Structure 1
């Protein structure tokens, strides 16, 4: 930040290392990501080549910790941990992140589902340090008020996407659009974003859909469902759970547990029938 808006004289750079929870479910896979990400970001890796070589050996964990200090990394973010991740070496990975945080004082941001967090907490004090920090939950948004669909958080998101710049600025959003999208997206902003992207592109190529105060509910539904077809199973399961949790089959509860409320009885029952926590060592 600068001393004044007109003359920036000082800029603070905050190095953030963003990794994915390893699909292989092993600590070795995560350490490999550390090395590859750091190598890709360093201007001249040869300057710190010795420490990168050590990241491939028996002392890879210590080498990664040393690299965090040497390269002055400000934060490490691990994204993508879900219920399915609990089958891997969760204890090994989280224990390493605890050591990383303790030895370097670099904060670790863990982006995960509620189900993963619940399972990880069962591992006890060995991994508690990386789980007990400030927690921010992103819950699905409630449906809009039928009397004023454009108000509230969901209505505001719809207005923001509608006014994203692809349509004429004075073109008003259909009044009930937030209601339609809420039913299609079940309050998930990521699905709303994907659906709106497809809708706006369609309206650009098919401007007739904007006549008579359009697009119509049918056009919106067709566009969103086509765009969100990848999540059709999850959306159906969420709708079934909303009607009656007993409607959700054991198979779907297990398959889409990350999309259901954490307290979903059918989901918890399905998961309790098999061991999920990975406690093996690499």
Structure 2
């Protein structure tokens, strides 16, 4: 059967719109391109780990007391440190494999796929998306979701995932006669819209594509149909045409949940996923439970490969200290095997311009984790502040550090977060949050299990459905029966 694609007008005249390329079933993955070849290489676990991780400060860039400029240069790199775990590597492996699989499915030598591609090119506002060709159907429906409270590593993970892919590139004179060049966007990373609307997300997607494909001759109205089309179909068609390999949507928080607007965004993301483009949604537990409270229609976005970035465990959660104990008074026994908490803190210690090469106090890792209630972002900030203090001209030597001194340094760094810390402290001591106002104010800092508590689950359900509750305090449920 010929691979030519033709159009027939009303008079019966036929026009070839895509000739047979002669490349039988040639997938986009095999198109001649250095970037494509690099992306389609299946990395070993060690290779993928190296892409994800970031060494903060090269060995030769150790801190020098009083040398503020040199230390500042090293500290800028220190902030880019990223520590991986086995679940993160497994998640990244599945994500990169899904993108490779999608590019293998785009078989330009297949007449069915080429017709789909060229008919998609002619899509206009109001038109329906064309049915997926059989070669892409097998890869459709691949989704990924990262669930974590605020300050638990979602943004750092997004940075790491982007490093696993090449930047957008163009294949000039691809082996298909109908095209002179072919754009490829391996991954597009977007923020969940601050105005919570689908139009906000589509504007960001349009800007990301135009940033690469436009030049001085591009009209300001280019791709305007993407935003005008309320169905999102034009945006999906554009992603298909510029060969988007995957989307990462980060910053989905409970405070952005809206009964109507969120459904529109979720409907679009599900549609993107079901049209073959792997979607990764990064959200807080509050957002996830908010979407699920709407029912199962769009909650299927959470049916993909999950990664839960839970807070690191405090000594209370490990059963090493009582709930009522003061953080500074806790005595933590020595570990036979370094815990993930110790490994995480130690990575920052060994990377600091001033702490590198010095002996870390044995009690420091769990003490920092306890003070930060396991939030990785706060831990990174506190470790940086300790490094700054040590590197100052009048810094206290590590040998003289006490828990009171370290707590004072961390208190200074996290001063703006003190109200949140108080709420997390209450949660650790009592397993509940007594005030609805506090619960709703800091809802995105809360872990997943909080939303399974009857009262607080009700509070949040009222928030996302625009309800109201005048009662601001926790009232224990009345238990009937013997």
Alpha-carbon distance in 1 for matches of 2:299, 2:36? 42
Query: Equivalent residue of 1:263, what SS?
Result: helix
Runs of 5+ unmatched residues, structure 2: 1-34, 40-164, 167-185, 321-331, 467-482
Alpha-carbon distance in 2 for matches of 1:214, 1:267? 44
Alpha-carbon distance in 2 for matches of 1:18, 1:277? 29
Give 1:248's match in structure 2, choosing from 434, 437, 444. Answer: 434
Q: Which moved more, 1:222-231 or 1:90-99?
A: 222-231
Alpha-carbon distance in 2 for matches of 1:167, 1:137? 33
Change in 2 beyond 3 A, CA 1:168/1:93: closer
Residue 164 of structure 1 deviates from its aligned partner by 0.5
Alpha-carbon distance in 1 for matches of 2:36, 2:236? 33
1:80-95 alignment to 2 at 5 Å?
Answer: 80-87=251-258, 89-95=261-267
User: Does the Cα contact within 8 Å between 1:51 and 1:63 map onto a contact in 2?
Assistant: no
Residue 50 of structure 1 deviates from its aligned partner by 7.5
Q: Which moved more, 1:83-92 or 1:259-268?
A: 259-268
1:276 is the counterpart of 2:464: yes
User: Does the Cα contact within 8 Å between 2:290 and 2:460 map onto a contact in 1?
Assistant: no
Aligned residue number for residue 228 of structure 1: 414
Aligned residue number for residue 368 of structure 2: 181
1:118 is the counterpart of 2:118: no
User: Does the Cα contact within 8 Å between 1:51 and 1:67 map onto a contact in 2?
Assistant: no
User: Does the Cα contact within 8 Å between 1:54 and 1:60 map onto a contact in 2?
Assistant: no
Residue 204 of structure 1 deviates from its aligned partner by 0.8
Query: Equivalent residue of 1:123, what SS?
Result: coil
* TM-score normalised by length of structure 1: 0.84
The CA deviation string for residues 51-93 of structure 1, in whole angstroms up to 9 with x for no partner, is: 6232243467222112211221111011111111212611000
Runs of 5+ unmatched residues, structure 1: 1-7
Residue 168 of structure 1 deviates from its aligned partner by 5.8
Aligned residue number for residue 258 of structure 1: 444
Aligned residues between the structures: 268
Alpha-carbon distance in 1 for matches of 2:430, 2:355? 42
More helix by share: 1
Change in 2 beyond 3 A, CA 1:50/1:251: closer
Residue 129 of structure 1 deviates from its aligned partner by 3.9
* TM-score normalised by length of structure 2: 0.51
Query: Equivalent residue of 2:303, what SS?
Result: coil
